[in-house]
Amino acid sequence: EGTTMPERGQANAALQRFMGASVGAAAAEITTLPIDISKVRLQTQKPVLVSGRMVLPYSGMMHAMLRVSMDEGFMALWKGLGPALMRQVSYTGLSFVLYEPVRNFVAGEGVKKEDIPFLKRVLAGGIAGGSSIFVMNPTDVVKTQMQASSDSKAMTSVTRQIWAEAGLAGFWRGAQPNVARCFIGNACEIGCYDQFKTTMINKGWVSDGPLAHFAASGAAGVVSAIFSTPVDVVKTRLMNAAGNKDAMQYKGVIDCFVNMPRKEGVSSLYKGFWPLAARKVLWTVAFFLVNEQALKFIRGSYS
């Protein structure tokens, strides 16, 4: 039997969402990766002995970016770009393909888009994000180790090292906090963005254009950073430890959550918050602005 017109229409719509999200994700990732480098360095740094006292190598986001560029070269700020693009393009594209059908399923039949409750949008965003990142966890492990190291390691070299030291399981190290982080992050980013944009447009505060996209995405990025930082720190620590004997080792998610505050203070769960928040806001704004414009172009090409 042939494919029906509604089925072809749904497939085209899913492909368009994937293409738009992929273009937006690539643009946002390239733009904000230096901030991500500083976040990873701040989250994984260990005290070193300097002039008889123990000090941390990096004092903050700007200092980390400056030190990395001076000590390792300017392009070191884009370490891990290969796996980062693989991860973001595939993960974000898949998340956006899943979001609308999951949202509509959670909302129930016959419910108009503008009438879908906020919590159901958030839940749909979380389910789409958590499912997508579990599949792409290996790219995140490779990216994290490339960014955390001061050595210039190729993606293939890091991949072989993880395989040799930890086997296949090493590529899913940190998957639990990563899924939790992306559930929270996507719930806040996609769910909040969808709700904020719909509310602002329906109330007549702004028209459906770049201003609405900018305001909604910026607000969604702030919410996402606040709620996702603790699990992001745990995810980074666990991923950096996979096949890496020099990194701080933890038995698992719970051990990391319990022992980090014990040994480093409760604030350790918010290590790298400012670069994470800055990147979340900039990434979300860049992504949704490019995604919305890419979707308009793609849909125009398909019509």
Return d(Cα 270, Cα 228) in angstroms, integer.
9
* 2 pLDDT higher than 70: no
Instruction: State the pLDDT at residue 6.
Output: 57
Residue 46: per-residue pLDDT: 83
* Residue 209 pLDDT greater than 90, yes or no: no
Strands in the chain per DSSP E = 48-50, 53-55
SS3 at position 246:
coil
Backbone phi, psi, residue 189, to 5°: -70, -60
Q: Which residue has the tokens 């790219």?
A: 139
pLDDT number for residue 47: 85
So what's the pLDDT on residue 131?
Answer: 92
**Could you write out the DSSP letters of every residue in 266-289?**
GGGGGTTHHHHHHHHHHHHHHHHH
pTM of the model: 0.73
Domain span holding position 108: 5-302
Look at the chain and report how many structural domains it folds into.
Answer: 1
Confidence category of residue 234, pLDDT binned at 50, 70, 90: confident
Reported confidence tier of residue 1, pLDDT bands at 50, 70, 90: very low
Q: What integer pLDDT is reported at residue 204 of this predicted model?
A: 92
- Contact, 114 vs 148, CB < 8 A? no
- pLDDT at residue 3 tops 60: no
CATH of the domain at 74: 1.50.40.10
User: Please, which pLDDT band fits residue 196 given cuts at 50, 70 and 90?
Assistant: very high
How far apart CA 214 and CA 82 sit, in angstroms, is: 27
CA contacts within 13 A on the Cβ side of 215 = 14
Q: Which residue has the higher pLDDT, 303 or 199?
A: 199
Q: What is the pLDDT of residues 170-186, one digit of tens each?
A: 899 888 888 988 898 88
Instruction: Give yes or no for residue 303 having a pLDDT over 70.
Output: no
Distance CA 240, CA 178 (A): 13
pLDDT of residue 247: 63
Helices 61-72 and 5-44: crossing angle in degrees, nearest 10, is 80
